[in-house]
Amino acid sequence: MDLARTEVARGRSRRTGNAARLGLMAVPVAFFAVFFAYPVAAIVRRGLETDGAWRLGRIADVLGDPGIRHVLWFTTWQALASTALTLIVALPGAYVFARLDFPGRGLLRAVVTVPFVLPTVVVGTAFLALLGRGGLLDELWGVRLDTSVWAILLAHVFFNYAVVVRTVGGLWAGLDPRQEEAARVLGASPAAAWRKVTLPALAPAVAAAALMVFLFTFTSFGVVQILGGPGFATLEVEIYRQTSEIFDLSTAAVLTVVQFLAVGAVLAVHAWTVRRRESALRLVDASGTARRPRGAGQWALLAGVLATVVLLLLLPLAVLVQRSLDAPGLGYYRALTDTGDGTFLVAPVDAIGTSLSYALAATAIAVVIGGLAAAALARRDAGRLVRGFDALLMLPLGVSAVTVGFGFLIALDEPPLDLRQSWILVPLAQALVGVPFVVRTMLPVLRAVDVRLREAAAVLGAPPWRVWREVDLPLVRRALLIAAGFAFAVSLGEFGATVFIARPDNPTLPVAVARLLGRPGDLNYGRAMALSTILMVVCAVALLVLEKLRGTDRTGEL
C-alpha cells in the first residue's frame, strides 16, 4: 500500500514537474519573443516590404551585386581560414593542458582563457598597437600588417585559441590513456596509435570547437571593423555599413536573412556534434591523466606552446598596455577626464561607471532568464519542443548584433514598448548575448542533480519552488556564480548592438574606444589604448574570479 502511494505521489510530482517546466519556459520565451524575434523581424520586414507587399525579388538583386558577392565570399573564406589556423595553432595547446603536468599549469590555463572574454574592440586595438602605424613591428622593422587579412586572421586566432584548448583539451583529459598505450604495446607507432585510437575519439570535440570558431569568425564585427580597413568587410560589417552609413535597409535586411540562415545551419550541426560527443564516449577521471613531460619531444612541445602563448596571446596585450603608458606621467589616462576636443559629451572616464552599471543590470537579467531556461531544460526526458527551444537560445550568439541593435530602435519605439530613451535598452541587448552563456554553464550541473532528490522532496509535499530552493539551489550555487561572471564579462564587452543604442551622453567602454579610434590625432589614439587597457583589466579580473570559483574544470566547456 505504501509503495502504491509512493508511485502515485511520484506520478503526481512528474506531472507537476512538467507543468512547472512549461511555466519556467514561459518567461524566457516571452523575453526572446519581445527582445529578439520581434526586433529582428521588424527590421527584416521594414527592408523587404513596400506598401504591404513583400519584395522577394530584392533578395536576388542584392545577392547578384558583385560587391555583395565579394563580401559573402570574403566572410566565408576568412572564417574557414581563421578556423583552420586556430586548429593548427591551438591543438598542441589542447594536448599540453590535457596530458602534461607542469608548474603554473592552472595559472597559465586561466591566462589562455583571458582573450576569449575580452571585448572584440580590445582585441582589435591590441593588434592595432602591435601591427598598425607606429606599432611594435613598424618601429622595429618598418612592417605594417593592419588593414590586411593577416591582421584579421591572427586576431581571430588570438580570440578563439581558448575555444579549442578548453573544448578539445577538456575531452582529451578525460580519455583513458591506456587505450593508446595498448595500441603501442601491440606494435603501433606513436603516430599510428594517435591517428587510429585518439583522433577518432577526439573528432566530435574537434568538430564542435571548429564549428564554434567558424561561427564566431563568420559573424566577426569589432575585429574586422578596426583592423580590416575599407578593403575588407564581413557580413556583419556590411550590415552595419548599409544600416548606419548608406541607410539601405532592404540590402541590410537581405544580408540579415542570409546570415541568419547560415548561423542556423552551423548551430544545428554543432548541436548534433555535441550530442554525439556526449553519447559516444566513456571518460575517466581527468585529474589523473596529466603527467610530467617525458622525453625531448614532450619538453619541446611544451616549450613551443609556451612560446605561442607568449607571442600570440600575451605580446599584443603587453604592447597595448605599453602604448597606453607612452605619454609621460600617465598622460593618456589623465586625459580621459577631458572633453575638450568635442569627441564626447561627457568625459571618457565616465564610460567606466556607465559600462559597469549596464553590465550589472544585464547580468541580473541574463541570470534570471538563463536560470529559468536552464531549469526548464534540465530534465533529460524533454521533448522535441523543449530541445528546439534549447537550440534557439544559442541564436543571439550568431545573429547580427548590429541587426538586433538597429531593430531595437525600429521596433521598440512606441507604447507600450517605447524604450528608445530608456537606459534599460542597453542592458536588455547585452543580456541577449549573456543568456546563452548562463544556460550552457548551468545546464550540465542541473542535469547532474539526482532526480530522486526532487521526487523525494515532492513526495514529502514540497511545492516546486521549495524543491528548487532546498534541492537544486545548494547544488548549483557555484555554477550560478560562474554563469553570472561570464554574463558580466560578455555584457561589459558587447559592441555590435550597443554602438547603435548607447546614448551619446552615456557611452559604454567599447563604444568610447571605437569613437576615439575613429578620431585623428595621437591623443585620441593614446586615450583609446588607455580605455582598452582598463577594459582588459576589468575583464581579466572577472575571469580570474571565475577560475577561482570553477576550480578543476572537467567538462571542457567554456
> Mean pLDDT score of the chain, rounded to an integer?
78
Assess whether pLDDT exceeds 50 at residue 537: yes
Contact call for residues 320 and 129 (beta carbons, < 8 A): yes
Q: Between the ranges 51-55, 177-181, 352-356, where is the mean pLDDT highest?
A: 352-356
pLDDT value at residue 285: 45
pLDDT in tens, 363-373: 999 999 988 88
If you count them, how many residues does the chain have? Answer: 558
| pTM, to two decimals | 0.79
Q: What are phi and psi of 291, to 5 degrees?
A: -130, 160
- The confidence score (pLDDT) of residue 85 equals 96
pLDDT in tens, 77-88: 999 999 999 999
- Which residues contact residue 259 at a Cβ distance below 8 angstroms, ignoring those fewer than 6 apart? 218, 219, 235, 236, 239, 398, 399, 400
Note the pLDDT of residue 555: 42
pLDDT band at 427 (very low <50, low <70, confident <90, very high): very high
Per-residue pLDDT, averaged over 118-136, amounts to: 81
The answer to whether residue 145 scores a pLDDT higher than 50 is yes
Distance CA 289, CA 54 (A): 59
pLDDT bracket for residue 557 (50, 70, 90): very low
Residue 334 has pLDDT above 80, yes or no: yes
Residue 52's pLDDT is: 60
Cβ neighbours, 10 Å, residue 209: 31
d(C-alpha 377, C-alpha 379), whole Å: 6
What are 66-122's pLDDT values in tens digits? 888 999 999 999 999 999 999 999 999 988 888 888 888 777 877 887 787 778 888
In this structure, which amino acid lies at residue 42?
A
Ranges assigned E (strand) in 374-486: none
> What percent of the chain clears pLDDT 90, i.e. is strictly above it?
10
Beta bridge partners of 54: 49
Per-residue confidence band for 283, with pLDDT thresholds at 50, 70 and 90:
very low
Which band of pLDDT confidence, cut at 50, 70 and 90, is reported for residue 284? very low
Mean pLDDT in residue range 515-530: 85
443-486 pLDDT per residue, tens = 777 776 666 666 666 666 666 666 666 666 666 777 778 788 87
Which range, 88-92, 183-187, 506-510, has the best average confidence (pLDDT)? 88-92
Task: For residues 6-35, give the mean pLDDT.
Answer: 67
Q: What is the pLDDT of residue 556?
A: 41
How far is residue 509 from each of residues 210, 528, 556, measured CA to CA in Å?
Answer: 30, 10, 30
Task: Report whether pLDDT(278) > 60.
Answer: no
- Phi-psi domain of 521 (left: phi exceeds 0; alpha: psi -120 through 50; beta: other): left
Query: What confidence tens digit (pLDDT) does each residue in 148-164 have?
Result: 788 899 999 998 998 88
Please enumerate in sequence order all residues whose Cβ is within 8 A of that of 545, keeping only pairs 6 or more positions apart, or say none: 485
Joined together, the cell numbers standing for residue 262 give: 547560415
Is the model more confident about 65 or about 4? 65
Q: Across residues 251-280, what is the average pLDDT? A: 73
Q: What angle do CA 91, 93, 98 make, to 5 degrees?
A: 100
pLDDT of residue 481: 80
CA distance 67 to 111: 40
- CA-CA distances (angstroms) from residue 92 to 85, 161, 326, 552? 12, 11, 36, 21
Per-residue 3-state assignment (H helix, E strand, C coil) for 203-224: HHHHHHHHHHHHHHHHCCCHHH
Q: How far apart are CA 394 and CA 433, in angstroms?
A: 9
Mean pLDDT over 329-344 rounds to: 79
**Residues in contact with 370: Cβ distance below 8 Å, sequence separation at least 6, in sequence order:** 28, 434, 435, 436, 437, 438, 439, 442, 483, 487
Is 358 a residue whose pLDDT tops 90? yes
The pLDDT tens digits for 378-393 are 765 555 666 667 767 7
- The SS3 call for residue 292 is coil
